[in-house]
Structure 1
Amino acid sequence: MRSRQEIQERVAAANAEFYQAIETGDIDLMGRVWAEEDQAPDLVCVNPGWPMLRGRSEIMRAWSLVMANVPYIQYVLTETHVGVSGDVAMVTCEENVLTAEDDNPGFVAGGQVVTTNLFIETDQGWRLWSHHASPVMLQEDGEGE
């Protein structure tokens, strides 16, 4: 019997692989991160500014486009929390995102996104079932004072 801490660590590792796949542009790793349709029906992915994506093939096609068109992206995750109930786990976190949107060296944009990632335990380990990311509206200097 695995301890709750060990299970949470495995889920956290699966979550880290998701972000590693994006940062390194590794579509093969992204394919291993997401569950198969027979393991988790109705896979869903919501990224800020995108329509809801349903199904593994639609999700993988979208990530392929992102990886092919974003020259640089880095995530600094904060406020990460892992909850587990049986064979389902939920990771909530804040994504602090740095990205280059064109080929100009030194051009970097940033933003913050709050995210919920749902995982399901499979024979291959913990796999992503749902990713939902929503942008956080940052206050301008001087607002709210």
Structure 2
Amino acid sequence: MRKSKLQAANLEGNADDVEAAFYDALQNADIEKLMACWADEDDIVCIHPGGPRVVGAVAIRATFEAMFANGSIRAWPQQVRKTVSVASAVHNLLEKVEVLTPEGPRHAWVIATNVYHRTAQGWRLVAHHASPGTASEIQEVSGTPSVLH
């Protein structure tokens, strides 16, 4: 028996599984798998680094299709901070993105927040907000003391 795209995207688990499927879809330029990660709601939102707010599945799909026309997006989630409740999860993370330059591949940083809701279809992405980062931003500012007394 062949698995459906939904099962192949491993979307029957938790928000972590959906996030892994989302980044796998980016790295493989798989628009169907990527869109399967999103909730089936009118007000889902995606903001790409430096871009406008994109609302709704049709518009979000179009932006990723345009990006995939140039190839896959080599992005890896790092330093994930999570807040999870019964029906929602918020992941704030750094994306390490491979960028091709004339000198060869280099890494850039993007600061992203992914918001997941538990829906009738399981955990799904409802918002992805990414902002350009800098090398200094891979260092984290936190209210947690670095030295214990």
Band of TM-score, shorter chain: 0.7 to 0.9
Q: How many Å separate the matches in 2 of 1:36 and 1:18?
A: 15
Q: Which runs of 5+ in 1 are unaligned?
A: 1-8, 140-145
CA shift at 1:138, angstroms? 2.7
Letter in 1 for 2:26: I
8 Å Cα contact 2:39/2:125 also seen in 1: yes
Residues 55 and 73 (structure 1), Cα distance of their counterparts in 2 relative to 1, 3 Å cut: closer
Letter in 1 for 2:33: L
8 Å Cα contact 1:11/1:82 also seen in 2: no
Q: Which runs of 5+ in 2 are unaligned?
A: 1-12, 137-149
The residue that corresponds to 2:69 in the other structure is 68
CA shift at 1:17, angstroms? 0.8
8 Å Cα contact 1:12/1:82 also seen in 2: no
Q: How many Å separate the matches in 2 of 1:73 and 1:99?
A: 9
Residues 64 and 72 (structure 1), Cα distance of their counterparts in 2 relative to 1, 3 Å cut: closer
Residues 50 and 19 (structure 1), Cα distance of their counterparts in 2 relative to 1, 3 Å cut: same
- Could you say what secondary structure the match of 2:104 adopts? coil
The partner residue of 1:129 within 119, 126, 130 is: 126
Provide TM-score, normalisation by structure 1.
0.77
The residue that corresponds to 2:50 in the other structure is 49
The count of corresponding residues between Structure 1 and Structure 2 is 124
The partner residue of 2:19 within 15, 20, 39 is: 15
Matches within 5 A, 1:1-145: 10-37=14-41, 41-69=42-70, 71-100=71-100, 107-138=104-135
Q: How many Å separate the matches in 2 of 1:49 and 1:137?
A: 13
Cα offsets for 1:71-117 (capped at 9, x unmatched)? 3532232211222122111111111111337xx8x832321011100
Provide TM-score, normalisation by structure 2.
0.75
* Alignment RMSD: 1.9
Q: How many Å separate the matches in 1 of 2:75 and 2:97?
A: 5
- Could you say what secondary structure the match of 1:111 adopts? strand
Q: How many Å separate the matches in 1 of 2:15 and 2:127?
A: 14
CA shift at 1:27, angstroms? 0.5
Q: How many Å separate the matches in 2 of 1:10 and 1:122?
A: 11
